[in-house]
């Protein structure tokens, strides 16, 4: 018995990766639960594993008292001194060994089930702690089975789920295929740890580069951001802590070997590597590569950048179905509006005309207002005085004049537009009324051929 139980504990500890102390505790707790079913729940029972004899010994604890009120947990001083300990005193708690030979089949089965459950709980806890610490890391597994459109991946000690939404649309797998994925989350559920994987997460791109580029693994090159349209295109921003190390070149590798290894793992997903910079305007320009940028207008309050590119670069900057500008926007964290130089020039022309129509605003002042973000007289009329005062080159007196004049001009313009609209509507109604009252024309009278005129 000694060798059997000791060997079982040792074997389970190695196979399940569970500490022997946890297994022994599970044994002791299971034996206590089973003993209470046999001897009564009111008794105070303790269990101690004895490795020398390979058994879990059970003991009944009783409190030494002068007068017994509950014999299941108390013992008189005289009886305690005669049967258990001659030196016992009132207030001592003494243990007496229980005879486990009276254990019934039901109690033994209950003990076994209790042990199995506790071992299972301990195993789940170990797996949870192991994979919880690996959130945000890559893991390799084997496609085990398919549940609806989700893929169940065997990770060795446990299974994980690759939900449909985390799968790259054009990737296909069969049972037994090897798969690499990114651990998105690990949560403990009533059925054990639930490990959620992803093949679409931007973090997977960053971790693949970390595996392929020693400079990233060593901390010389840092991944500053990543954006993906899984299966199509991706952008990753990198910087270097060492001025002598080119971060983009490090990620590309000799003859493109490093980036091609990542592309291959992502099944042909095209990857743009962007040299990160703290200058946000320059960062956006780089993120829009391969398109060339002519000018950028920054709206810090709206966290928006208006990017102007040469006419022949517009489609390149926007990308197929807007893909390039979307990825650049996600990577940089700015809303990006791209337009061509001709579109920008036309907008500038219209803005200067609109602003210049306000009395008291000459071409120079209109240019100052336009450079500050005003694109029409209407926008200017909606601004408060403080905002106009913030425009470089415009003093308090001029700002006051512009403030009043713009409001008066826009109000008068809208009044005239309403008048024109009312006149047009009245003319249309009059025309409709005249059409209903007009007599039949000659073309509307048909000749009576049976009774010709004499």
> Do residues 119 and 137 share a domain?
no
Q: Which residues face 198 on adjacent strands?
A: 182
Residues 73, 116, single domain; the answer is yes
**Cα angle vertex 31, ends 25, 37, to 5°?**
140
CA torsion angle 120 122 125 129 (round to 10): -130
**158 and 116 share a domain?**
no
111 in the same domain as 26: yes
Whether 163 and 118 share a structural domain: no
Q: Are residues 188 and 210 both part of a single domain? A: no
Domain co-membership, 12 together with 116: yes
What is the extent of the structural domain holding 23?
A: 2-127
CB atoms within 10 A of CB 446: 6
* Cα 332–Cα 252–Cα 329 angle in degrees, nearest 5: 15
Please give the Cα distance from 223 to 262 (Å, whole number).
14
**Structure token digits, residue 30:** 């299971």
Residue 72 within any structural domain of the chain: yes
Contact in structure between 330 and 306 (CB atoms under 8 Å): no
Q: Pairing between strand 233-240 and 270-275?
A: parallel
Amino acid 249: pLDDT: 96
- Last residue in a domain, options 127, 156, 179: 127
> Does residue 287 contact residue 274 with C-beta atoms inside 8 Å?
yes
68 and 8 share one domain: yes
Which residues, at least 6 apart from 294, have a Cβ–Cβ distance to it below 8 Å?
A: 308, 309, 310, 341
Q: Residue 185 corresponds to which tokens in the numbers above? A: 């989350």
pLDDT on residue 441: 52
Question: Using CA atoms, how far apart are residues 208 and 261, in angstroms rounded to an integer?
Answer: 9
**Domain boundary pick from 198, 230, 255:** 198
- 236 is a domain residue: yes
* Predicted confidence pLDDT, tens digits, the chain (454 residues): 444 667 777 777 777 777 888 878 887 887 888 777 777 777 788 888 888 877 778 888 888 888 888 777 888 888 888 778 888 888 888 887 877 666 656 555 666 676 777 778 888 888 999 999 999 999 999 999 999 899 999 998 899 999 999 999 989 999 999 999 999 999 999 888 999 999 999 999 999 999 999 999 999 999 999 999 999 999 999 999 999 999 999 999 999 999 999 999 999 999 999 999 999 999 999 999 999 999 998 888 889 999 999 999 999 999 999 999 999 999 999 999 999 999 988 988 998 898 888 898 888 988 888 888 888 888 888 888 888 888 888 888 888 888 888 998 899 889 988 989 989 888 888 888 888 876 655 555 444 445 444 3
Flag whether 142 is in a domain: yes
Domain co-membership, 233 together with 186: no
Say whether both 101 and 142 belong to one domain: no
Return the closest-CA partner of residue 251 out of 216, 279, 278: 216
Query: Per the domain annotation, does 18 fall within a domain?
Result: yes
Is residue 232 situated within a structural domain? yes
Residue where one domain finishes, among candidates 198, 221, 250: 198
Q: How many domains does the chain have?
A: 3
Does residue 108 share a domain with residue 30? yes
**How far is it, in rounded angstroms, from Cα 410 to Cα 292?**
38
Residue 226 lies in a domain: yes
Half-sphere exposure of 318 (CA within 13 A, CB side): 12
Alpha-carbon distances of 209 from 49, 147, 261, rounded to whole Å: 51, 31, 9
CATH number at residue 23: 3.30.1480.10
Return the structure tokens found at 58: 């059970």
Structural domain contains residue 70 = yes
Answer yes or no: do 57 and 142 share one domain: no
Residue 444 to residue 427: CA distance in whole angstroms? 26
For every residue of the chain, which 3-state class applies, written as one string? CHHHHHHHHHHHHHHHCCCHHHHHHHHHHHHHHHHHHHHCCCCEEEEEEECCCCEEEEEEEEEEECCCCCCCCEEEHHHHHHHCCCCCCCCCEEEEECCHHHCCHHHHHHHHHHHHHHHHHHHHHHHHHHHHCCCCCEEEEEEEEEECCEEEEECCCCEEEECHHHCCCCCCCCCCCEEEEEEEEEEEECCEEEEEEECCCHHHHHHHHHHHCHHHHCCCEEEEEEEEECCCEEEEEEEECCCCCCHHHHHHCHHHHHHHHHHHHCCCCEEEEEECCCCHHHHHHHHCCCCCCCEEEEECCCCEEEEEECHHHHHHHHCHHHHHHHHHHHHHCCEEEEEEHHHHHHHHHHHHHHHHCCCCCCHHHHHHHHHCCCCCHHHHHHCCHHHHHCCCCCCHHHHHHHHHHHHHHHHHHHHHHHHHHHHHHHHHHHHHHHHHHCCCCHHHCCCCCCCCCC
CATH number for 174: 2.40.50.140
83 inside domain: yes
Whether this prediction's pTM lies above 0.75 is answered by: no
What is the predicted pLDDT for the residue at 109? 67
Residue environment code for 406-441, b if the CB has 16+ CB neighbours within 10 A, otherwise e: bbebbeeeeeeeeeeeeeeeeeeeeeeeeeeeeeee
214: domain CATH number is 3.30.300.20
């Amino acid at each position: 018995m000694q060798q059997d139980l000791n060997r079982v504990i040792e074997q389970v500890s190695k196979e399940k990766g569970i500490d022997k102390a946890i297994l022994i505790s599970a044994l002791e707790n299971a034996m206590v639960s089973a003993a209470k079913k046999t001897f009564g729940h009111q008794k105070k029972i303790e269990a101690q594993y004895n490795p020398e004899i390979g058994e879990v010994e059970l003991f009944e604890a009783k409190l030494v008292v002068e007068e017994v009120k509950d014999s299941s947990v108390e013992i008189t001083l005289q009886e305690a001194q005669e049967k258990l300990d001659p030196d016992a005193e009132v207030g001592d708690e003494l243990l007496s060994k229980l005879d486990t030979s009276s254990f019934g089949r039901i109690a033994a089965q209950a003990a076994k089930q209790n042990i199995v459950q506790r071992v299972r709980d301990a195993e789940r806890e170990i797996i949870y702690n192991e994979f919880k610490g690996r959130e945000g890391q890559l893991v390799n597994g084997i496609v085990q089975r398919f549940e609806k459109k989700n893929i169940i991946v065997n990770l060795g000690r446990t299974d994980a789920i690759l939900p449909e939404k985390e799968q790259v649309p054009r990737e296909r797998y069969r049972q037994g295929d090897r798969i690499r994925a990114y651990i998105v989350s690990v949560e403990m559920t009533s059925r054990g740890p639930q490990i959620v994987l992803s093949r679409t997460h931007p973090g997977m791109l960053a971790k693949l580069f970390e595996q392929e580029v020693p400079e990233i693994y060593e901390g010389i090159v840092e991944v500053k951001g990543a954006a993906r349209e899984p299966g199509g295109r991706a952008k990753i921003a990198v910087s270097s802590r060492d001025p002598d190390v080119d971060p983009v070149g490090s990620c590309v590798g000799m003859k493109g070997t490093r980036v091609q290894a990542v592309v291959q793992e992502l099944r042909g997903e095209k990857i743009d590597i962007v040299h990160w910079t703290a200058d946000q305007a320059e960062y956006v320009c780089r993120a829009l590569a391969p398109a060339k940028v002519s000018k950028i207008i920054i709206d810090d309050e709206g966290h928006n950048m208006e990017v102007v590119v040469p006419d022949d670069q517009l489609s390149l900057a926007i990308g197929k179905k807007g893909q390039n500008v979307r990825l650049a926007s996600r990577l940089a964290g700015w809303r990006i509006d791209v337009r061509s130089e001709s579109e920008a020039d036309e907008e500038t022309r219209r803005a200067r005309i609109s602003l210049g129509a306000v009395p008291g605003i000459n071409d120079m002042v209109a240019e100052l207002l336009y450079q500050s973000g005003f694109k029409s007289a209407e926008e200017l009329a909606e601004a408060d005085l403080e905002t106009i005062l913030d425009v470089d080159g415009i003093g308090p007196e001029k700002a006051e004049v512009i403030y009043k004049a713009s409001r008066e001009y826009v109000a008068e313009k809208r009044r005239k537009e309403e008048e024109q609209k009312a006149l047009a509507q009245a003319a249309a109604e009059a025309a409709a009324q005249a059409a209903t009252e007009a007599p039949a024309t000659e073309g509307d009278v048909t000749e009576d051929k049976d009774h010709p005129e004499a």
